[in-house]
């Protein structure tokens, strides 16, 4: 089964989605499972991982409720307050739901680039390991060295790098992102989502060739056993429709053996997020 490891749902309101800036008007509406399911069916994608888009416990609750209602949602990457003294209680509450597969924090929105090295955050990551959950890394390129230091401290924790760390695709610049991604990939407990690329390129003006240098770097760094496809729907619709986003990765994989394609498009997601436990 092909699996989309990164998509979002929301009932839009202006005070909880401040990250939707003025050029994102088309995102300022509801996006729910009935909107996504026809796109999955049309593109041969059998399941998804729904990822948090708000920093609140109610986000995790709502995504898990949707996962109960819609079987194609195979897993949820939610949010808990990793800096809270109550983080263990929060995790214990949500981990009772078998479709909770990970958590994420919008580190790239924090004003402190060293945010992940705060003692309270590191303690939260330590607690996360007790529940066998993935931590998704949402970063900009400048955060990659800090991420490498965090990963070094938690060799048994599973990490997933979202959106290949949002490189400078529109500018056509690789450095220093490429070296920093390679350094992070040396830790074998880190996986990477091939996702979020089209919104880092010139919106709706990109060509497939714009992404090849970046795809070459992550495939060379992580190898086919640690990469996963993700669409970042509906955010991706700012720059491309769902079919085009899926096609970018599938076209890149055309020259690869079938077992490689199967791993990147689905198998690695099952292994990384422990999908299908219910």
Mean pLDDT for the stretch of residues 180-201: 98
Q: What are phi and psi of 202, to 5 degrees?
A: -70, 115
Cα–Cα dist 211/208, whole Å = 6
Q: What percent of the chain has pLDDT over 70?
A: 99
Res. 11: pLDDT tops 90: yes
Give CA–CA dist 218/226, Å, rounded.
10
Report pLDDT digits (tens) over 98-142: 999 999 999 998 999 999 999 999 999 999 999 999 999 999 999
Pairing verdict, β 47-51 and 134-137: unpaired
Strand order in the sheet with 47-51: 3-7, 47-51, 73-78, 100-105, 134-137, 159-161, 190-194, 227-229
Spell out the domain ranges in the chain: 3-273
What's the confidence (pLDDT) of residue 278?
42
Average pLDDT over residues 58-67: 98
Q: What is the pTM of this model?
A: 0.96
The mean predicted confidence, pLDDT, of the chain is: 96
Confidence of residue 9 (pLDDT cuts 50, 70, 90): very high
Query: How would residue 20 be classed by pLDDT, with cut points 50, 70 and 90?
Result: confident
236 neighbors 203 (Cβ within 8 angstroms): no
Buried b or exposed e, range 67-89, using 16+ CB within 10 angstroms: beebebbbbbbbbbbbeeeebbe
Architecture of domain 3-273: Alpha-Beta Barrel (3.20)
The CA distances from residue 185 to 45, 57, 112, 148, 181, in Å, are: 27, 31, 23, 9, 6
């Amino acid at each position: 089964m092909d699996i989309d490891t990164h998509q979002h749902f929301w009932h839009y309101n202006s005070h909880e989605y401040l990250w939707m800036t003025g050029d994102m008007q088309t995102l300022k509406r509801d996006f729910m499972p009935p909107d996504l399911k026809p796109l999955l069916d049309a593109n041969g994608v059998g399941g998804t991982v729904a990822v948090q888009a708000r920093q609140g416990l109610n986000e995790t609750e709502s995504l898990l409720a949707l996962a109960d209602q819609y079987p194609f949602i195979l897993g949820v990457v939610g949010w808990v307050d990793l800096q809270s003294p109550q983080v263990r209680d929060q995790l214990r509450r949500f981990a009772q739901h078998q479709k909770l597969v990970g958590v994420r924090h919008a580190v790239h929105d924090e004003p402190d680039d060293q945010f992940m090295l705060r003692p309270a955050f590191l303690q939260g990551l330590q607690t996360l390991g007790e529940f066998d959950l993935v931590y998704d890394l949402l970063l900009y390129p400048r955060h990659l060295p800090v991420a490498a230091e965090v990963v070094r401290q938690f060799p048994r924790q599973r990490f997933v790098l979202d959106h290949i760390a949002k490189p400078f695709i529109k500018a056509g610049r690789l450095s220093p992102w490429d070296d920093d991604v390679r350094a992070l990939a040396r830790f074998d407990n880190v996986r990477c989502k091939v996702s979020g690329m089209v919104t880092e390129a010139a919106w709706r003006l990109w060509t497939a060739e714009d992404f090849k240098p970046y795809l070459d770097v992550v495939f060379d760094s992580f190898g086919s056993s640690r990469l996963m496809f993700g669409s970042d729907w509906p955010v991706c619709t700012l720059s491309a429709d769902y079919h085009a986003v899926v096609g970018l990765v599938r076209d890149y994989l055309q020259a690869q053996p079938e077992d490689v394609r199967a791993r990147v498009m689905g198998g690695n997601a099952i292994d990384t997020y422990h999908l299908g436990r219910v």
